[in-house]
Structure 1
Amino acid sequence: MVSEQVIFLFQIVSLFLLSSTMVDDKINTDAESSGHKINPIYALSNQDGTGAKITHVVLTGPNYEEWAKGFRVALGAKRKLGFINGTLRKRPTDPNDWEDWEAVNYTVIAWIFNTIESGLRSSISYREVAYDLWEDIRLRFSVANDIKIYQIQCDLADCKQKSGESVMDYYGRIKKLWDDINDFDSLPNCECCSKCDLQSVLRKRREADQVRGFLMGLDPFYATARSNILGTSPLPAMQIVYSRIAQEEEVRNVVLSRDEAVTNPMACAVNSRQQQRSDGSNRPRYKCNVCHKDGHTASRCWENIGFPVGHPRHSARTGDSAAASTSNPKVNAVLGEASHVANMVRLNGPCLDDDWSG
């Protein structure tokens, strides 16, 4: 019973494979008989549907240049750039390619509208040809090249490395301005002859200007490396210059980290002392048991050893001792000796900078 079911399933699969093979053969036969072969320019893959977004940049108006650049790159990767640059703006002369051209043309139109902001999309007029739609958007949102070039040149002159900014971030900012200059002020093509190398010469000059601008905008820390590079002739390529400056940045970071490791213990000790003084945690180590004040002991207390010259309470005691000395010469001699001893004791006692409030 089981063997009969297996044989039946095998027969069904065989019939299915046979029928699919016959259909493929028929399609190939019809294609060969018609003689039509699709041009690779008009070929569309399964992912090239009308709902696809071929670039992640969405046109909002002011970002037209960024959007146009990304759209051209994506369309060029699909071999459809001719539909917006004018080379394939018209229907081909071969009638066999008419349907293929129309399919790709409408697909490109759908891709353009898919990458436009929804609020802006309604204000853009529909066009039957992708090139006409592209030109309509360009004329509406593209800024005049002369004004844009002047603005970019001003931004390049003001582009400097900020305090604390890494070399990589600084290079990224100035590199974007260089790309904009190349887009708006592209180098001319010389068509005088096939051997003319004018464009490569102009390109080298522009690259040299970019190297100088990058070096002059660096932080003053890189002054030595900057002078060494600018002193070489010819100037090295931008990639080599960036590599050298990046190495200098690594050395700087290592030196700074080492210096911080040395100075941190001393700074912590100073900060701890200041913190103790500010928060009152540095309690006095001495307390007098005579006047009950902080900062000294009984051996250095003025209440015990007498006040120094200049203190108000010193004057009063001096007057009393002077009166006693005039009344009794014998006592005067004794007091003189005591005064001499007291003065000696005061040399080891508190100074005039101590608290006199007692």
Structure 2
Amino acid sequence: MAWQTPLNCPQMAASNPAISNPTMQAGNTPAPALIFATYDPKDRSNPLYLHPNESPSLQLVTVQLEGRSNYHPWARAMEMALRSKNKMVLADGTLAIPNKSDPKYFYWYQCNTTILSWIFRAVSPTIGRSILWINTAEGVWRDLKKRFSQQDVFCIVEFQSEIYRTKQGTSSGNDYFTQFKLLWDELLVLRPVLSCDFTPISYECGSNMSEKIRAQLENDMLSSFVIGLNDDLNNTKRQIMLMKPLPDVGEAFAMVSQQERQIHEVSISVNESLAGAGVFFTKYENKQKQKPVCSFCGYTGHTIEKCYKKNGYPPGWKPRNKGMGAVNQVQSTPQEHINIGANSSSFNQEDYRRFLEFMQ
């Protein structure tokens, strides 16, 4: 069942006597029970429908409009919010304002006032005062767009300069790409890609100029992105710029992300190897400090089971000048000790070389 316009609406009562006296029609004949059956404001697909939760105090966006500096992201967020509520047609003028004698005028007026409240809550107090006396949401939307969305040559130059000054530095590849893309998106809003307007009836534009301009712009985006990458990605940078055809910025970012993951994994592997080398050498030094002592001859470096003095000398053994007491003192180099340790563990010569480089 369709809603009827409330009988206590002064605007509607003044313009239509049948509203103030619903039992009267022309010729003093009784009016039908459903005088406005052609309009149903309960229809959720109708832009004039207001959900009970869509109060004037609702805040649609979190960032307030401060002026030209943040108009474009603010307008984008506000437009998405209004479209999600099927109210953007009132702000951009797509839905015509009904005549005051039209039954829909009351519901349009209600929605229009609600949208005005939403916009007032989404702008700074200074901007809010400047649009306070504009009566329609369409008028406010057009006024803000006219004031803050105009292409400013100096603003475009600032964005271009900021793009080429942006470097990766200490940021991750993902953070750098996000900042880079935001700047380019803002620049494209201020200076959209040109399109060809040559559309005669019998001919078509064969130059495909719009695609050429877009391809050139994508190459500019790619080069500025690659230039800002850190030097440890030089191999990846050269690989990207030598590709034929050149990839777009998204593909280049995917290659950079893959290279960063590989560098991270190699770094973890080297750190683990060096940590293992440090543990091995610590154990080895502890063993060197705790040399065995022979209980028979009293010398270090062997036990009683291997004492030549007690168990006999091996064939062909010759005494050294240092005396007989040092017969079991085996002289060895640090490299031999390392080889002995390597035979009893997984630490090899390559690990030893890398450990020495690390210590240096």
Same fold judged by TM-score > 0.5?
Answer: yes
Distance verdict in 2 for CA 1:59–1:25, change over 3 Å: closer
Aligned mates of 2:82, 2:140 — CA distance in 1: 15
- The one-letter code sitting in structure 2 at the alignment partner of 1:185 is R
Paired residue type of 1:152 = F
In structure 2, C-alpha distance between the alignment counterparts of 1:117 and 1:111, rounded to whole Å: 12
Indicate which of 247, 250, 254 corresponds to 2:258.
247
What is the TM-score when the length of structure 1 is the normalising length?
Answer: 0.58
Q: Quote how far apart the aligned CAs of 1:128 are.
A: 0.3
Displacement, 1:182?
1.7
Distance 1:25 1:130, change over 3 A: closer
Q: Does 1:106 align with 2:109?
A: no
> Is 1:227 the equivalent of 2:238?
yes
Q: Which residue of 1 aligns with 2:58?
A: 52
- Counting aligned pairs with the same residue, the percent is 23
Summarize deviations over 1:186-226 as a string: whole Å, max 9, x none: 12344433976544443333223222221121111221122
| Number of residue equivalences | 244
Cα distance, 1:80 vs. partner?
Answer: 2.6
| Higher mean C-alpha displacement, 106-115 vs 202-211 | 202-211
Determine the structure 1 residue equivalent to 2:153.
146
Q: Which amino acid aligns with 1:66?
A: P
Match of 1:156 in 2: 163
Q: Which amino acid aligns with 2:114?
A: T
Report how far residue 152 of structure 1 moved.
0.5
Cα deviation 1:153-199 (Å, max 9, x = unaligned):
0001111111x321001001101101101211112344433976544
Which moved further from structure 2: 228-237 or 187-196? Answer: 187-196
Output the amino acid matched with 2:92. N
Matched residue type, 1:147: F
How far apart, in 2, do the equivalents of 1:144 and 1:202 lie? 19
Q: For the Cα contact (< 8 Å) 1:126–1:133, is it kept in 2? A: no
Asked if 1:206 corresponds to 2:209, the answer is: no
1:183 aligns with 2:186: no
Q: Deviations over 1:118-150 (max 9, x none)?
A: 576345432101122233334555575222111
Distance 1:148 1:52, change over 3 A: same
Gap change, CA 1:177 and 1:166, over 3 Å in 2: same
Q: Distance in 1 between matches of 2:38 and 2:91?
A: 29
Flag the 1:135–1:225 CA change in 2: closer, same or farther, 3 A. Answer: same
| Helix, strand or coil at the partner of 1:63 | helix
Query: CA 1:119–1:224 in 2, change beyond 3 Å: closer, same or farther?
Result: same
Matches within 5 A, 1:241-320: 241-264=252-275
How big is the shift at 1:248? Answer: 0.1
Counterpart of 1:80? 87
Q: How far apart in 2 are the matches of 1:115 and 1:199?
A: 36
Aligned counterpart, 1:36:
39
Read off the aligned partner of 1:132 and give its amino acid letter: G
Shift of 1:33: 6.6
**Alignment pair present for 1:125 and 2:132:** yes
Matched letter for residue 104 of structure 1: C
- Residue 175 of structure 2 corresponds to residue 169 of structure 1: yes
The CA distance in 1 between the partners of 2:168 and 2:222, in whole Å, is 14
Tell me the CA shift for residue 250 of structure 1: 0.3
Q: Secondary structure at the match of 2:143?
A: helix
Instruction: Give the letter aligned to residue 35 of structure 1.
Output: T
Alpha carbons of structure 1 residues 207 and 46: separation in structure 2 relative to 1, 3 Å: farther
Change (3 A) 1:174 1:25: closer
1:238-264 CA-partner distances (Å, limit 9, x unpaired): 332211110100011111222233345
Offset from partner CA, 1:57-104 (integer Å, 9 cap, x none) = 22244433332221122122333323333444x524693443333222
Contact 1:57 1:115 in 2 (8 A): yes
Please list the CA deviations of residues 34-60 of structure 1 after superposition, one character each: whole Å capped at 9, or x if unmatched: 323557233333332222112222224
Q: Is the 8 A contact 2:151 2:191 kept in 1?
A: no
The 3 A distance-change label for structure 1 pair 188 and 86 is farther
> RCO greater where, 1 or 2, for CA within 8 Å and sep 6 or more?
2
Provide the alpha-carbon RMSD of the alignment.
3.4
Counterpart Cα distance in 2 of 1:259 and 1:193: 63
Mapped contact 1:149–1:185 kept (Cα < 8 A):
yes
- Tell me the distance in 2 between the aligned counterparts of 1:268 and 1:135: 71
| Structure-1 separation of matches of 2:217 and 2:139 | 34
Bigger share in helix: 1
Change (3 A) 1:105 1:201: farther
